[in-house]
Structure 1
Amino acid sequence: MTDYVALATQLAAQIQPGAAQRDAERTLPHEQIELIRQSGLGAARVPVELGGGDISQVDVARIFITLAKADPCVAQAIFPHFATVEHLRLIANPEQQARYLGAFADRQLSSGAIAERSGTFRGEIHTRLERRGEQLILNGSKFYSTGCLFADLLKIQAVDETGAALYVMLPANTPGITLLDDWDGMGQRTTASGSTVLENVQVAPEQVIPLSQWYQRRNYIGASAQLIHCSIDIGIGLAALDDAVSWARNGSRPVRESGVQRASDDPYILHTIGDLAASIHGAEALVEKAAAAVDFAARSQLLGLLQGDELEAVLAKASIEVAEAKIASTRAALHVCERLYEVGGAATTQSLHNFDRHWRNARTHTTHDSLAYKYKAIGEFLLNGRHPPIAFTY
């Protein structure tokens, strides 16, 4: 049986070298993603009977913390693959599960083309799957297509002619699909989060997964996705902490009035390092606690261990625990990445170190969804007993 956490640790050691340079030059990590593909890490959450490891959500969190500490762009680029595994496990029919999850066990990677820039509200989908005679034809445009340039298989969200939501599973090289490298965010520069253009793409009926019923039925998928986002933020913060410690030990000079000969003995530098460590390690512990709640919720739903109100309560509690972890991981990552400079002063701002990538990555990634609504959901749950919205962001 593969130890996927140990595998991620081995991969991280190969991915970390050159991460700062890839960010500075905006070089996409094709070689690093290929290492992950060939390693079989993408099968970590695939059911055992389909050739995977069916690891716990706690181990998923550990994997993403480890990879994000090495290079958060690589970690985020494979996040959609892990999200797709959960969607397929919960929503797809048995034939689709065997086909696609089996492909993941055979070292294929997937990604998702979900978000669009059009519409009044975030999350609106205008990509359409229409019937033309005997054919199903897909047309639309996506943005934030994280990881699609690296993927073998794409999960594309669309609506049919009645407005019903669905996923379409297509090989990335399907005629009519154009993947653009046009993401230019200040951080997470090499996640390949650009555009996907869909022009008269032919779709087979077996490639369509109906989705509408899940808009009214609570599930664990949103919490599992948010858990990975939390883990990526923790990894970013841990990398910044490592750089702060290394600089204080090897690069920083004490101020004359400190009365010490080494920066590592300066009481204010010691205080700063202690503050950074307590902040990010405390958030990391909260993420692991939330991961255990998500794991229980996922197994309860996938295996039918709980039903009705009992399942509803477990799913809602997992979402709330992840919301708490999201607040902690966001604040900790930003705090550590900002205060890193207090350890070393002006020298740490030099471009050759590229320490600013930590803050740029944290600030960019933590904008993924609104933190304010996490606070609101927690308050509603604790004060009024109201469960969080049924959505893929909770």
Structure 2
Amino acid sequence: MTIQSKQPSDSRSAVPPVERPSAEAHVIRTDAEAIAVAEKLAAEFARDASKRDRERIWPKEELDAFSQSGLWSVNVPKAYGGPDLSYVTLSKVITIISAADPSLGQIPQNHLGVVAAIRTVSDEAQKKLLFAEVLSGTRFGNAFSEFGSKRAADFETKFVDAGDHVVVNGQKFYSSGALLAHLVPIVALDDEGRAWYAIADRGAPGLTVIDDWSSFGQKTTLSGTVLLDNVKVPKTHLVPGYKGYDRPTADGAIFQIIQAAVDLGIAKAAINETIDFVRTKSRAWIDSGVDHAWQDPYTIQAVGDLRLRANAAEAVLDKAGLAVDRAVAEPNEKTVAEAQIAVAESKILTTEIAINATNKLFELAGTRSTLAEHNLDRHWRNARTHTLHDPVRWKYAILGNYYLNDVNPPFHAWS
């Protein structure tokens, strides 16, 4: 039942589709190469990240460089020409990019999740077709969540069979990446209530993306409202996503681990900003008896605590990546539950360090750090916005039930 419908404030803000890349994307072959490419891109992305946030400038050139780099195909299986890298590496890549610009770090989250889902649920012909698209540099956006439904997993968008294609109708929101995507996977229900990914061309007639994302954080994730008015999707691009959740698979844990990596990146950026500001701009406190802010024993202790907790979160995120690798290689009730639990633990720790580090930035750096010229509040705004994706208070309950009562986590894309 719909309790509220979100109406776009201005239909004139509909955004036209972008052209496909003219050149084939690079294909990364090793974990070390992926990390090196991510670090090189991150150095470039960080340069104007504050300006993009301040002025809400779309990262179009940066996104093109990102998706052409090969980092958007790192989880394509080797059998289809991909590198099939570890989810430890994938998480590190997202962390590195997110430390430079967390909006850019978030944009490929659903793309990578859909790539994983195709591996899990598609037949051979569909895998060959869609993985070839990904390897060539095609970007998936997303049209998953709906604004007014009762719960996140309650979908009202539906499709009907029309021979060699289906016709989709509905309305979506929180559609990260959709504005500048090449293809838009739409979560839509069939007549049995099963959820599929109907992967539509971004320029398909009836598919309209509205630039109306107005959050105070994660401003340039290229999100907004997606309107679906009799959108035709060929059955070659109709992926049975529901099959990833009718038996144990790593699909949900994969969507989640990428979210955790974004939050760790935000935390790392905030800690680095804190250290830089304290060492170069902050003044020593009047009662400290020291000449420089970086000599303050309480500041020293606080920075040590932040680094410790960030390192712990990163270690647990690595552990979660290994657990996801095992669940992908051998999906069963045990390995999938272990992956879900490890990812839930990492989600808790990365959420908490992201919020804590972005708060401490101002406490330790002092009043001067709040000046608009520094735009350091973007770190807190990004952390506060992104960590709302799914509540960690429920992660604690999942962990407790698992360890105390041997109850496996619920099985869906948020777990």
Q: Do they superpose with TM above 0.5? A: yes
Aligned partner of 1:334 in structure 2 is 355
Change (3 A) 1:135 1:256: closer
The whole-number CA distance in structure 1 between the counterparts of 2:163 and 2:280 is 70
- Name which of structure 1's ranges 327-336 and 34-43 shifts more when overlaid on structure 2: 34-43
- Name which of structure 1's ranges 312-321 and 281-290 shifts more when overlaid on structure 2: 281-290
The whole-number CA distance in structure 2 between the counterparts of 1:105 and 1:84 is 14
Is the counterpart of residue 182 in structure 1 residue 221 in structure 2? Answer: no
2:365 to 328, 338, 344: 344
Contact 2:200 2:232 in 1 (8 A): no
Amino acid across the alignment from 2:281: G
Give the superposition deviation at 1:132: 5.2
1:279 to 301, 309, 314: 309
Amino acid across the alignment from 2:297: P
Contact 1:61 1:291 in 2 (8 A): yes
The whole-number CA distance in structure 1 between the counterparts of 2:324 and 2:351 is 19
The whole-number CA distance in structure 2 between the counterparts of 1:71 and 1:256 is 35
Residues 313-332 of structure 1 mapped to structure 2, 5 A cutoff = 313-332=334-353
Amino acid across the alignment from 2:269: A
Aligned partner of 2:298 in structure 1 is 268
Give the superposition deviation at 1:202: 1.6
Change (3 A) 1:279 1:212: closer
Secondary structure at the counterpart of residue 142 of structure 2? strand
The whole-number CA distance in structure 2 between the counterparts of 1:140 and 1:300 is 36
Amino acid across the alignment from 2:414: T
Secondary structure at the counterpart of residue 186 of structure 2? strand
Q: Deviations over 1:236-263 (max 9, x none)?
A: 0000000000011111111232121121
Q: Deviations over 1:106-159 (max 9, x none)?
A: 111112110012332222111111135776311111100100112111111101
Aligned partner of 1:216 in structure 2 is 246
Change (3 A) 1:142 1:14: same
Give the superposition deviation at 1:357: 0.7
The whole-number CA distance in structure 2 between the counterparts of 1:64 and 1:101 is 20
2:393 to 372, 380, 384: 372
Q: Structure 2: which 5+ runs fail to align?
A: 1-28
Give the superposition deviation at 1:273: 1.3
| Length-normalised TM-score, structure 2 | 0.90
The whole-number CA distance in structure 2 between the counterparts of 1:132 and 1:286 is 47
The whole-number CA distance in structure 2 between the counterparts of 1:166 and 1:338 is 40
Is the counterpart of residue 385 in structure 1 residue 385 in structure 2? Answer: no
Amino acid across the alignment from 1:236: I
The whole-number CA distance in structure 2 between the counterparts of 1:214 and 1:81 is 16
Secondary structure at the counterpart of residue 253 of structure 1? coil
Aligned partner of 1:288 in structure 2 is 318
* Aligned-CA RMSD value: 1.4
Q: Which runs of 4+ in 1 moved over 3 A?
A: 131-135, 211-215
Give the superposition deviation at 1:207: 2.0
1:145 to 166, 175, 183: 175
1:164 to 179, 189, 194: 194
Change (3 A) 1:355 1:135: closer
Residues 48-59 of structure 1 mapped to structure 2, 5 A cutoff = 48-59=78-89
Q: Deviations over 1:11-33 (max 9, x none)?
A: 11111111011111111111110
Secondary structure at the counterpart of residue 113 of structure 1? coil
Aligned partner of 1:10 in structure 2 is 40
Contact 2:120 2:244 in 1 (8 A): no
The whole-number CA distance in structure 2 between the counterparts of 1:164 and 1:39 is 35
Contact 1:316 1:388 in 2 (8 A): yes
The whole-number CA distance in structure 1 between the counterparts of 2:78 and 2:163 is 40
Change (3 A) 1:205 1:133: closer
2:279 to 249, 254, 259: 249
Identity of aligned residues (%): 36
Contact 2:195 2:240 in 1 (8 A): yes
Change (3 A) 1:350 1:292: same
Amino acid across the alignment from 1:185: S
Aligned partner of 1:112 in structure 2 is 142
Is the counterpart of residue 359 in structure 1 residue 380 in structure 2? Answer: yes
Secondary structure at the counterpart of residue 340 of structure 1? helix
Secondary structure at the counterpart of residue 373 of structure 2? coil
Secondary structure at the counterpart of residue 393 of structure 1? coil
The whole-number CA distance in structure 1 between the counterparts of 2:298 and 2:390 is 35
Secondary structure at the counterpart of residue 257 of structure 1? coil
